[in-house]
Amino acid sequence: MTTHPAGSIEQHPDIIEMRARYEAAAETPVAQGVHGLIALTGLYLAASPWIVGFGGLTNLTINNLIAGVALTLLAAGFASAYGRTHSMTWVAAVIGVWTIIAPWVVAGDMSTTSTIWSNVVTGAVAVVLGAAAMGVAMMRTSA
């Protein structure tokens, strides 16, 4: 028994073709590289409090851990089901912008130079990779 009505939009030929196009674009080496780099950026962001040493900055530590895990999970979604997750690629760039401003918003005057540099560089990388992930859908595939 199906839960979709007979005229379900999910079975529309244009939707099927669009998802196939996105999946084909996501299988290119460039797209796979972008998704892999987003995952690595997320992993670094999550681990950065212990790599850089965010001593005494508990709120910023928790913030980076959550944002890093979210970025890594987004990358996993992009890599495994791009046809269904391509519309969320902008979130990677938003997480990057948040990462850039978080030392001032979350930690305030307690931020150190190393925490600021770590977040600004990691956030900038996430913004660039998020923009690149948005561009993956625009890539032409040879079909």
143 three-state secondary structure: coil
pLDDT at 22: 63
pLDDT at 52: 92
pLDDT at 104: 92
pLDDT at 17: 67
pLDDT at 78: 80
pLDDT at 143: 44
CA atoms within 13 Å, Cβ hemisphere of 79: 17
139 three-state secondary structure: coil
Distance CA(132)–CA(46), nearest Å, equals 21
Q: Could you identify the residue written with the tokens 């244009």?
A: 14
Instruction: Decide: residue 44, CB within 10 A, 0-12 exposed, 13-18 middle, 19+ buried.
Output: buried
- Please enumerate in sequence order all residues whose Cβ is within 8 A of that of 2, keeping only pairs 6 or more positions apart, or say none: none
pTM beyond cutoff 0.85: no
Distance CA(74)–CA(77), nearest Å, equals 5
Q: Encode the chain (143 residues) as per-residue pLDDT tens digits.
A: 455 555 566 666 666 666 666 666 666 777 788 889 999 999 999 999 999 988 888 999 999 999 999 999 999 888 777 666 667 888 999 999 999 999 999 987 777 889 999 999 999 999 999 999 888 766 654 44
First-residue to last-residue Cα distance in the chain? 35
